[in-house]
Amino acid sequence: MEFQEQTIQFKTWLGDRPITAMVGIGSGLAYHRKDDSESEDFVLTHIKSGIDIGSDWYAWDEQDAKGWLEKVAKLLDWTKPLKSVKAEVKRLGGMDAMREQVTQALRDAWEENKAQDDAATIEDGVPANWPQEPLSIKTIRE
């Protein structure tokens, strides 16, 4: 999936506010940092409604947020208005079932990214930061 930085409207208790987000092109979803703060984790938002769909779940890093969005986008057509999305959620088993699928999508994205990170760290049984020359007292002291 391709992503594009855009400004979207995000619903808060104080009303709508513009926020910079990464939009999954054609998905109807975007990810962004909660409260638009660099210190916050990432949430998913339904673009047409401006409502975050992750409930109490957040992605810790951007790679997990991308994977999460890609998985959640496959669950239903998020490009529709909120009323249509709610009807589809109801047809697919209700809010609890959808919440479980959205939560599982985050877990799966995290596990996949963790596995990729672990595989990149060790290639052919040798850690990526292992010295090229054989270890000796001299190389250890340096």
Q: Give a yes or no: residue 129 inside a domain.
A: no
Give, as one character, the DSSP assignment of residue 56. Answer: T
Q: Give a yes or no: residue 22 inside a domain.
A: yes
pLDDT at 114: 81
Q: Give a yes or no: residue 42 inside a domain.
A: yes
- Structure-token pair, residue 97: 């079932």
Query: Over the chain, what is the mean pLDDT?
Result: 84
Q: What is the pTM of this model?
A: 0.77
The CA–CA distances, whole Å, from 15 to 11, 12, 77 equal: 6, 5, 25
The least confident of 11-25, 29-43, 68-82, 113-127 is: 113-127
pLDDT at 40: 79
Q: Give a yes or no: residue 15 inside a domain.
A: yes
Q: Give a yes or no: residue 138 inside a domain.
A: no
Beta-bridge partner residues of 3: 24
Sheet architecture: strand order including 29-33: 3-12, 15-24, 29-33, 42-46, 51-52
Q: Give a yes or no: residue 12 inside a domain.
A: yes
- Three-state SS for 67-108 is HHHHHHHCCCCCCCCHHHHHHHHHHCCCHHHHHHHHHHHHHH
Tell me which residue range forms the domain holding 90: 3-122
Contact 52, 45 (CB under 8 A): yes
Q: Give a yes or no: residue 98 inside a domain.
A: yes
Average pLDDT over residues 102-122: 78
Number of domains in the chain: 1
**Confidence class of residue 71 from pLDDT cuts 50, 70 and 90?**
very high
Helix (H, G, I), strand (E, B), or coil: what is residue 60?
Answer: coil
Q: What is the pLDDT of residues 4-22, one digit of tens each?
A: 999 999 888 888 899 999 9
